[in-house]
Structures are given as C-alpha cells and as structure tokens.
Structure 1
Amino acid sequence: MSLHGKRKEIYKYEAPWTVYAMNWSVRPDKRFRLALGSFVEEYNNKVQLVGLDEESSEFICRNTFDHPYPTTKLMWIPDTKGVYPDLLATSGDYLRVWRVGETETRLECLLNNNKNSDFCAPLTSFDWNEVDPYLLGTSSIDTTCTIWGLETGQVLGRVNLVSGHVKTQLIAHDKEVVILDVRVPCTPVARLNNHRACVNGIAWAPHSSCHICTAASCIRSTVFSAHHTL
C-alpha cells in the first residue's frame, strides 16, 4: 500500500466517538475506504468517510456528515465494477440513501413506509441486493420486513413477522430465521430453527445462493443449506 518503504501490516484510525457501525466500500476506484457511524446518546450523531492515504500510509477522514440517532447499520452500494452512482445507505429511524461526492455528501432519498403517522418503528438492520442494486430490504423493530425499490422509492413488498400470538424471526428474543421470496413475501420459503438462543446475526454466503450462516447469543454459528427456489 505504501509507496515508500515496507508497507504496514496494521493500520489504525481513532474516531472522535464510539464507533457503532462500519462498512467497507467495494468500488475498485475507491480502495481502502470505510464508512463509520457514531454512537452518541443524543439525537445528533455522525457518519465519517475514512480513506487510506497511500503516501503517508495512514487512514484519514475525508468527509463527515450529520445523522439523526446512531446508525444501526450502514452499507456502501455493492458495486464492484464502479458503474453505479457512489451511494451509501444508513438505517436508524428511517432508511436513508446518501450520494457521496468528492467534497460533500448529500441525502439522495429518505425511505419511509409509515408516512401516515408522526411515529416510526426504528429499523434494526437492512441489506442491499448484490444482483440488483436497486433493491434494498429492511427489518424493523415492529417485526416487519420491507423491500424497497431504489429507483422509485416505493415499497415493493412487506411482510409482518407476527403470526397469531407468536412472534417469529428477526426480533431480539426469537430463535428462528425465515427465508422469504420477495415475489411471494407472505409465504416463507424456509424456517431455520436449529438455535437454542435468540438469533442476532445472519449473512448469506458470497459464493452460493443456497447457503446462509446464522449467529445466536449462545456464541455459536450454524450453516444451513436450503434448496434454491428463487
């Protein structure tokens, strides 16, 4: 990485606040770039865009912008070829998509599926579709999942994860994960229930469309193999 002398093995950057969320950029023209979200116990929080200066072999802050509440998750657009606009999404009270420029970052759109109320259910997480970057999915503390179309800013699908009196997946005290097909969001493709404690993390395998890893509070992870039905 360094242009002068032997390159470092460990790079450090000290943020001015507790870091709550972070994500690597995958754009080929923006190497070694991170987005960092703050955890400050008040309404006003921050997001920093940090990049590696290869001359000095140090990470430096290239941009900082305000964010309401801490970001529960942030994610760069999964654009490995650099063909889409340089976008960053953040979740908190709402899902926000930001357009990153050379000198400033501005809000591109705010996605809100509860426009008829002054109150909102905070978003606990989201994910960006790697095959079609115009699709994003969010999970909410009110036990709903929503699929968004980025081009229109409209809801493409929504599923309520409460069945009768039993709360199901993607909430803090439950032990199951539901696999959904966005074309038929009301009918789960599969239910994964091998954990003995609440599920607090999930990740699809980057090399396979039918493998997912889930993590639970018992500090173990289990790999599930499901039939690919999409």
Structure 2
Amino acid sequence: MKVNRTMDQQRTIHRGQFVADWPTYAVDWAGDVYGCVLVGSFADDGTNKIEILQMQPTQLVHSIATAQLNYPATQVQWAPHKITGRDSGNIPFNLFASTGGAFQLWSIEDGVVSALAMLKQKNTNVLNDVEGSTAPTTSMDWNIIRREIVVTGSVDTTCVVWNVERRIAQAQLIAHDREVFDVAFLARSADVFVSTGAEGSLRMFDLRSLEHSTILYEASSNGSLPLLRVSANTQDQHFVATFHLDSNTVHIIDIRFPGVPLLNLAGHEGNINCVKWAPGSRNICSTGGDDGQILIWNTTENGTLFDAKTLALYGNMKNNTCRQLNESIFFWSAEAEVNNLCWSNDAEWIGACWGISFQALKV
C-alpha cells in the first residue's frame, strides 16, 4: 500500500545519534531526555552487550557503561519509578533487567555495571531438560505497582512470574500452545498481564487466578500467523496494541470486547517490527517498520478512543466492522529498517534502533 505523506507531517532528525559496531535492537529509556538509555546488540558471534547511553545538553549521545552478554538481549528494562503510596517493593532505581539466553538482573553505579543475578526457570520440556538448563526468554515486563514483580515469556510456551526482590520464581504457567513472544502488564494493574504467542493468539492472565486465561484476540484458524509484540496502553487498561508477523497493520484491542479489533493502524509500506504507547497518554502510540518509517499515531476520534457511538456498535459484535487509520499525525524517515522503539518517561522523546544506530527523536 502506497501511503501519501506531506512535508508538514515529516519531522527532522537532528543530533542525538549513537553509532555502534553492531546491530541495535533491545532498548529502554529511563527518565526524561537526560536519563539513561539501555541499548542491546543483536549479534550472532557470541559477543553481545548492553550499552548504557546518556544524552548531553548538546544533544550528543555517549556511552557511560557497558554490560557483556553471550546472547542477544531480546528485551531490556529499567526498574520502574516508584508510585507514592502504591508501591510494595524495595527496588533500587539503578537496577535493570534483560531477557535473552536467561532473565538477568543488573545494576549500574558510578559508571560500573554489575551482574546481580541470573534467574533460571525450570525447563518444561522434559526431553530436553538437563541439569542447569534454562529455556531462552523472549520478553519481560516490570510491574509498576508491585515493583518486585516481573513477568517473562519463553520459547518453551511458559510465562514465569518473578519476585526480583527475593530472586525467586513465584509462579510458572503454560501460557500458549507455542512460543511466547511478548508480555505486558495492563496499565496501573498489579495483577493482570497479556501475552502473545507463535500460534497467533493474544491472551490475558490474572496473578490471583492463574489457572484461567482469556483469549482476547486470535487470528483465523486457517494459516494463523504469530502475534509478535504487544503494548499495553499506559493510561487505560482496556486497550492493548499488537501485530502479526509479516504484517503492516497494528490491531488496537479493547479487552472488554474480545475477538475483534477496535481499530487498525495501517500506514506502513513494509512489515511492522514494533509498537509502543506513549507514557501518560491514552491516545498516542508509535510504530516502526521495515520501510524505515517511524510513525506517530493519534488513535482518537472526536477526542475519545472509545465513545458512546462506538460502544453502541460493539453491542452487536457480529455486525461490527473495524475502523482503520491509514495516516499518522507525523513521521520520521530512518536510514535503515526500524528494529525497535521506546519513549522517554515524559513522552517528549522517542528512542529508535535502526541498523547499527540508536537515535533520539524529539516529538
């Protein structure tokens, strides 16, 4: 699909670039523009790393520390900021975690990164279970209410709920029929998370009752494509965004009405690789893809994503047709395929990984 965009929609890329010697992939931004950014490599030679970057007032980005890894980090994440009066964990703010070959905890202090722990889950595949083995982890999400809780997804079809304060696995469940590709806690929820899997389903779990799950969205049974990523809206726990392998369309799902997307975002000319809701916003999200485009979307219609008119339409799900947006509110053109995105906590900046670069983009 050819998308026509105007010069008014295009944003200029200024400074704020870090060029590495390796492909960049996993990324997370702590704090505002001058907060630290985690950027993970994706190399197949066994010499991977996580670079900790910081942007100066001159908008020059430089590395302040490095963590060494054998396998590429599939995801990196800083410990979330404490929410006054709603926090139950005693977790330091210089802590971060990574998934990949294993779920690992790290800390950084005075420019030195320390490996704190490698947390291993039990391999559920008995045929391949050997002493000390662990199934590779594909994704993670840190609970912002109970900051001691992290959920991870794995290629062995399971999700594991970790207590990182005690450094133990609280629960392990078979979440999907095939590999788990991504996980995310719903906005401001201490207990509910969603996951996507290789069999093409989006599922919801509650830590208070893990023996049950809800299928929120599932591709057609004939030739289902994996759902690669899921991003939970940061303000409204009813909305999540996901997309299929080899697709240029993001599906916005309302968990109150499983089965049919509320909205499709279809502005990319190539396959989508990432989607992220903006912090502190109910209606703004970003996407990046193989077409080298980073798109910013406003999902509202007349000021609300889910108004009374739409609610009436959803009264009869069988007759509902999904709304579709084809045009973003603005965009950047990258120098290569966009591998991953993150937002600064104040939503003033986006961090993008493309090729061998990390680029900070002013929204």
**What TM-score, normalized to structure 1?**
0.83
Contact kept in structure 2, 1:21 and 1:74, CA below 8 Å: yes
Aligned runs of 1:114-153 on 2, under 5 Å? 114=122, 117-153=131-167
Aligned-partner Cα distance in 2 for 1:169–1:35: 23
Contact kept in structure 2, 1:127 and 1:136, CA below 8 Å: yes
Contact kept in structure 1, 2:156 and 2:178, CA below 8 Å: no
Which residue is equivalent to 1:226? 255
Moved more, 58-67 or 109-118: 109-118
CA drift of 1:86 comes to 1.0
Q: 2:53 aligns with which of 43, 50, 56?
A: 50
Aligned runs of 1:152-191 on 2, under 5 Å? 152-162=166-176, 167=178, 170=181, 173-191=198-216
Instruction: Tell me whether 1:75 sits opposite 2:66 in the alignment.
Output: no
CA drift of 1:187 comes to 0.5
Which residue is equivalent to 1:101? 109
Contact kept in structure 2, 1:169 and 1:177, CA below 8 Å: no
Aligned-partner Cα distance in 2 for 1:207–1:81: 14
| Cα deviations by residue, 1:181-214 (Å, 9 ceiling, x for unpaired) | 0121121034321575320010110011221111
Which residue is equivalent to 1:22? 27
SS at match of 1:13: strand
CA drift of 1:20 comes to 2.1
| Cα deviations by residue, 1:137-174 (Å, 9 ceiling, x for unpaired) | 00000110010011111111211135xxx548647632
Which residue is equivalent to 1:62? 64
Aligned-partner Cα distance in 2 for 1:130–1:194: 30
Letter in 2 for 1:222: H
Moved more, 76-85 or 171-180: 76-85
Long gaps (5+) in structure 1: 1-7
Instruction: Tell me whether 1:205 sits opposite 2:205 in the alignment.
Output: no
Higher relative contact order (CA 8 A, sep 6+): 2
Aligned-partner Cα distance in 1 for 2:35–2:132: 40
Long gaps (5+) in structure 2: 1-12, 85-90, 124-129, 182-195, 258-363
- CA-atom RMSD in angstroms: 2.6
SS at match of 1:105: strand
Aligned-partner Cα distance in 1 for 2:225–2:178: 14
Aligned-residue sequence identity (percent) comes to: 18
